[in-house]
């Protein structure tokens, strides 16, 4: 039996995995726990799609009666199978900024990579949380009454537990997990992440915090620290960039997944006087070019340019915004500000078959 525990990387999802292992133990037979992908894979710039392959691989490797699959980056194929097989599963939602702080506490990863790893998981959490088989748990609410949370999880998976079982699970885990969902201000993410990085983390993730709290996605802001400078991938475009040297890309990134749908990216750029009259191209890319616009600064100053694009299925490596100098003879300097992403229309998964049927009927699909 496969028990799926989907969640943002961090303490709360790990706590939920551990609860499910103990609950699965009540079913009899050996229980295995696997967490996928690991943090190193999530932090890297490689495509880690293939959740179902990993479930199959883990089933063969563990050969246990029950497998608790802690999945931090589920994908479209897993979503399709979950829907097709009416699989019940858990979605563990934490404040994504707390998840970043948890990753930093566990690894020495650069903040931009930790932010990117969590931002990559968020759109997938949105999709899975909307499916009918999901039990969606919010960390802060769930941890105010852990015993009740354990009971809810048990009920969702149809596992019979006694009050003693629940008490034992909560007690065991309180020794293993010190504080899976910190609620006091001193342990808040702002205290665990260097202040210089707050703007980057907040911009990339606050929209998801609001969405997970029941609001709208609002906007996402990709700070310049998330981007990569062409010629020196270890650096972000934090300093002005010399545009002379021929037509070429100047910067790219951040390879972050976005929810499917139509988006506007407002890109803030600064130009020195020498760049006046030269062409710069800003495009959105995810496996292919999704949209592009050309900026020709008339004079020095700050410019905001818009690229509108539509994203379909998750691309694997995520979306990027690229800035290119298109003129061979351009001179001067370009400063990169940030990218503000605004959803125009996002595509929801088919959560209500009845509604879907109505649409099909009305639109004669």
Binding site residues, other proteins, CB under 8 A: 1-2, 29, 52-57, 59-61, 63-66, 77, 81-82, 84-85, 87
User: Shortest approach of other proteins to residue 29 CB, angstroms?
Assistant: 6
User: Shortest approach of other proteins to residue 134 CB, angstroms?
Assistant: 15
With 0-12 / 13-18 / 19 or more C-beta atoms within 10 angstroms meaning exposed / middle / buried, residue 100 is buried
Distance CA 360, CA 46 (A): 38
Q: Which is nearer to other proteins, 48 or 330 (CB)?
A: 48
Q: Which is nearer to other proteins, 53 or 328 (CB)?
A: 53
User: Shortest approach of other proteins to residue 124 CB, angstroms?
Assistant: 17
User: Shortest approach of other proteins to residue 79 CB, angstroms?
Assistant: 12
Phi and psi based region of residue 150 (left: phi greater than 0; alpha: psi -120 to 50; beta: remaining): alpha
Residue with tokens 């298109």: 326
Q: Which is nearer to other proteins, 3 or 142 (CB)?
A: 3
Q: Which is nearer to other proteins, 53 or 172 (CB)?
A: 53
Say if residues 246 and 255 touch (Cβ distance below 8 Å): no
C-alpha pair distances (Å), 282 with each of 130, 266, 309, 322:
34, 10, 12, 6
User: Shortest approach of other proteins to residue 66 CB, angstroms?
Assistant: 6
- Torsion angle in degrees (nearest 10) through CA of 36, 37, 38, 42: -150
User: Shortest approach of other proteins to residue 30 CB, angstroms?
Assistant: 9
User: Shortest approach of other proteins to residue 46 CB, angstroms?
Assistant: 16
Q: Which is nearer to other proteins, 77 or 152 (CB)?
A: 77
Helix axes 11-25, 163-176, angle to 10 degrees: 140
* 3-state SS, one letter per residue, for 94-152: CCHHHHHHHHHHHCCCCHHHHHHHHHHHHHHHHHHHCCCCEEEEEHHHHCCCHHHHHHH
Q: Which is nearer to other proteins, 53 or 313 (CB)?
A: 53
Q: Minimal CA–CA distance to 290: which of 248, 260, 328, 325? A: 260
Q: Which is nearer to other proteins, 87 or 342 (CB)?
A: 87
């Amino acid at each position: 039996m496969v028990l799926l525990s989907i969640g943002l990387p961090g303490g709360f999802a790990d706590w939920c995995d551990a609860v499910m292992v103990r609950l699965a133990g009540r079913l009899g037979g050996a229980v295995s726990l696997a967490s996928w992908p690991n943090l190193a894979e999530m932090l890297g710039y490689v495509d880690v799609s293939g959740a179902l392959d990993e479930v199959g691989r883990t089933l063969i490797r563990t050969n246990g009666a029950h497998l608790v699959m802690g999945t931090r980056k589920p994908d479209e194929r897993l979503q399709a199978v979950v829907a097709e097989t009416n699989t019940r599963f858990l979605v563990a939602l934490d404040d994504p900024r707390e998840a970043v702080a948890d990753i930093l506490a566990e690894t020495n990863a650069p903040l931009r990579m930790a932010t990117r790893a969590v931002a990559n998981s968020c759109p997938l959490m949105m999709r899975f949380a909307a499916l009918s088989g999901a039990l969606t748990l919010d960390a802060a609410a769930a941890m105010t009454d852990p015993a009740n949370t354990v009971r809810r999880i048990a009920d969702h998976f149809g596992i019979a537990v006694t009050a003693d079982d629940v008490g034992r699970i909560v007690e065991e885990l309180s020794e293993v997990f010190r504080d899976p969902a910190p609620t006091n201000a001193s342990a808040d993410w702002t205290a665990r992440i260097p202040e210089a990085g707050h703007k980057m983390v907040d911009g990339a993730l606050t929209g998801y915090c609001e969405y997970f709290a029941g609001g709208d996605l609002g906007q996402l802001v990709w700070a310049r620290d998330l981007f990569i400078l062409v010629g020196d991938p270890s650096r972000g475009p934090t300093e002005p960039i010399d545009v002379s040297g021929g037509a070429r890309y100047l910067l790219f990134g951040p390879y972050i997944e976005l929810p499917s749908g139509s988006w506007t990216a407002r890109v803030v750029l600064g130009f020195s006087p020498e760049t006046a009259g030269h062409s710069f191209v800003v495009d959105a890319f995810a496996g292919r070019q999704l949209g592009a616009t050309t900026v020709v600064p008339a004079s020095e100053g700050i410019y905001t340019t818009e690229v509108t694009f539509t994203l379909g299925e998750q691309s694997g490596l995520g979306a990027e915004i690229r800035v290119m100098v298109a003129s061979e003879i351009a001179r001067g300097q370009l400063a990169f500000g940030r990218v503000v992403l605004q959803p125009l229309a996002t595509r929801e998964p088919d959560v209500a078959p009845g509604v879907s049927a109505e649409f099909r009927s009305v639109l004669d699909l």
